[in-house]
């Protein structure tokens, strides 16, 4: 077991003032794999003040200097890829091979891409008699989740640092080990003291300091919609900028002319990534009612190929959930779905799973639009199927949710699929399984949040506009 005794504040490891620690569990074995300190409000404030003191000098550095620091972080991440992948596979539960590719590979790419965005960014332009400037917003509080922990940290910290902001990070207390390794990498890269700070702890303590402190100019939060509402409420008292990336209940719309086999396989893959612990998971599959029997047969065949097992075991396609609480929550949802009359197509709450670990078998049910499982974000390996009579009903069902983060449309006619996608109120739609694009903006409509991450769009979130009104030259 690895015990981390310190926070990272003002360029150094600072021993925690509280003896209270937070355990980190290996999702496949349930054993405690590490502990991190339970941070206090005073430690969070110390980190904020360090970030405030460092912000002006950091923003004043030449663009190339900041980009070179990011290059060093990229090299550090590459050097510790195996260590990071193993840590995340254990604390989150994603199988190791996939964790290396997704949970570490994506952050490495994103850090490097933000250096490219920084180097090519246009900071000022003439608009009539005005000189319009872009400037860093200042001190940013970053509060991140456990499901894709390193990448969600990256999509906040990397563009903020590139833009000239300084950062205080509160990583998830459930999966913080990867964040500690990142802090070691950033320290080794030699960033000036106070530019990056990390305080472990709980949301109601450390997170609330970041949301309320007058010296924090912006808070960027990824997590549940419930917690995001709380962050927004607290931040409003000091009129901070707030970026929220929250929940989802994304619909995969299978049009009548779609390749059914491809649509079912693609939807299941988009639903079951990370054992369904993804805000953009395609958790509702909308199919023509006259093709339901075909879809159910394809689902049974496809689900059988998702082998459940420990994250470090070769051959595991689907790992455990992140915690006992999450496992129990998902199992309760499955049982509720059956109790409400849902038809179990595959999986279920009572199938055998490994004796140790937080496992749930991948499960698919046919439900009604009014059922709980058609409305609530489950955050586990659960797909629900809903049927529709015509395209109008399909679009209405896709939009019948408080969320609007992801989704998909399947059709052999790409132009038709795009036309349908335009009618769905969501931030991202995959056409016939189109792959994720880390350069494109990522974020939600409605209660899935506000603001965007990824590429130049995520970079611009951390900037302010300033207009200098120039006196026209004399004629």
Number of residues that this document lists for the chain: 475
Question: Is 279 one of the annotated active-site residues of the chain?
Answer: yes
Q: How far apart (Å, rounded) are the C-alpha atoms in residues 367 and 387?
A: 9
Q: Does the annotation mark 271 as catalytic?
A: no
Distance of CA 416 to the CA centre of its chain: 30
What would the 3-class secondary structure string for 233-297 be? HHHHHHCCEEEEECCCCEEEEECCCCCHHHHHHHHHHHHHHHHHCCCCCEEEEEEEHHHHHHHHH
Rounded-to-integer distance, Cα 259 and Cα 261, Å? 6
- Which of 43, 173, 245, 453 is catalytic? The answer is 245
A 10 A CB-CB count for 308 gives 21
Residue 458 near residue 159, CB atoms below 8 Å: yes
Q: Do the Cβ atoms of 376 and 340 come closer than 8 Å?
A: no
Closest CA to 138 of 219, 212, 67: 219
* CB of 43 closer than 8 Å to CB of 10: no
Task: Report how far apart, in Å, the C-alpha atoms of 87 and of each of 1, 3, 82 are.
Answer: 12, 14, 9
Place of tokens 């596979």: 89
CA of 30: how far to CAs of 24, 53, 97, 322, in Å?
Answer: 9, 42, 20, 10
Choosing from 142, 165, 271, 279, the catalytic residue is 279
Residue 363 near residue 348 (C-beta atoms within 8 A): yes
Rounded Cα distance between 345 and 362, Å, is 11
Q: Is residue 71 left, alpha or beta, with left meaning phi > 0 and alpha meaning psi from -120 to 50?
A: alpha
Active-site residues, by number, are 245, 279
């Amino acid at each position: 077991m690895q015990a981390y005794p310190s926070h990272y504040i003002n360029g150094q490891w600072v021993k925690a003032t509280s003896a209270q620690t937070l355990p980190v569990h290996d999702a496949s074995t349930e054993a405690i794999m590490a502990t991190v300190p339970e941070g206090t409000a005073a430690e969070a404030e110390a980190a904020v003040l360090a970030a405030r003191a460092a912000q002006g000098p950091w923003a004043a550095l030449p663009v190339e200097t900041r980009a070179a620091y990011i290059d060093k972080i990229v090299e550090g991440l590459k050097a510790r890829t195996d260590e990071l992948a193993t840590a995340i596979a254990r604390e989150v539960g994603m199988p190791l091979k996939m964790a290396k590719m997704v949970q570490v590979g994506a952050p490495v790419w994103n850090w490097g891409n933000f250096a490219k965005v920084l180097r090519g960014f246009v900071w000022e332009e003439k608009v009539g008699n005005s000189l319009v400037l872009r400037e860093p917003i200042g001190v940013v509080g970053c509060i991140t989740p456990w499901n894709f922990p390193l990448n969600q940290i990256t999509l906040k910290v990397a563009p903020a640092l590139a833009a000239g902001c300084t950062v205080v990070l509160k990583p998830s207390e459930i999966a913080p080990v990867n964040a500690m390794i990142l802090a070691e990498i950033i320290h080794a890269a030699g960033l000036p003291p106070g530019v990056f700070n990390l305080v472990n702890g709980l949301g109601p303590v450390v997170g609330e300091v970041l949301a309320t402190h007058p010296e924090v100019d912006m808070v960027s939060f990824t997590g549940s919609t419930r917690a995001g509402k709380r962050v927004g409420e607290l931040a409003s008292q000091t009129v901070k900028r707030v970026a929220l990336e929250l929940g989802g209940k994304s619909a995969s719309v299978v049009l009548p002319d779609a390749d059914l086999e491809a649509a079912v396989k693609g939807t299941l893959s988009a639903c079951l990534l990370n054992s369904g612990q993804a805000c953009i998971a395609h958790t509702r599959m909308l199919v023509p009612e006259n093709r339901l029997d075909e879809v159910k047969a394809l689902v049974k065949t496809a689900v059988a190929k998702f082998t459940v097992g420990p994250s470090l075991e070769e051959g595991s396609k689907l790992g455990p959930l992140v915690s006992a609480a999450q496992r129990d929550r998902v199992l309760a949802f499955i049982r509720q779905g059956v109790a409400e009359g849902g038809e179990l197509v595959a999986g279920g709450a009572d199938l055998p799973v490994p004796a140790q670990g937080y496992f749930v078998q991948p499960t698919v049910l046919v439900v009604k639009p009014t059922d709980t499982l058609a409305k609530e974000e489950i955050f586990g390996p659960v797909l629900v199927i809903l049927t529709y009579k015509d395209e109008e009903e399909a679009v209405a069902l896709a939009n019948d949710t408080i969320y609007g983060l992801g989704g998909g449309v399947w059709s052999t006619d790409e132009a038709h699929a795009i036309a349908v996608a335009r009618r769905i109120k969501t931030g991202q739609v995959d056409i016939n399984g189109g792959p994720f694009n880390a350069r494109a903006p990522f974020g939600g409509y409605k209660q899935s949040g506000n603001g965007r991450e990824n590429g130049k769009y995520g970079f611009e979130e951390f900037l302010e506009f300033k207009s200098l009104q120039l006196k026209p030259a004399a004629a």
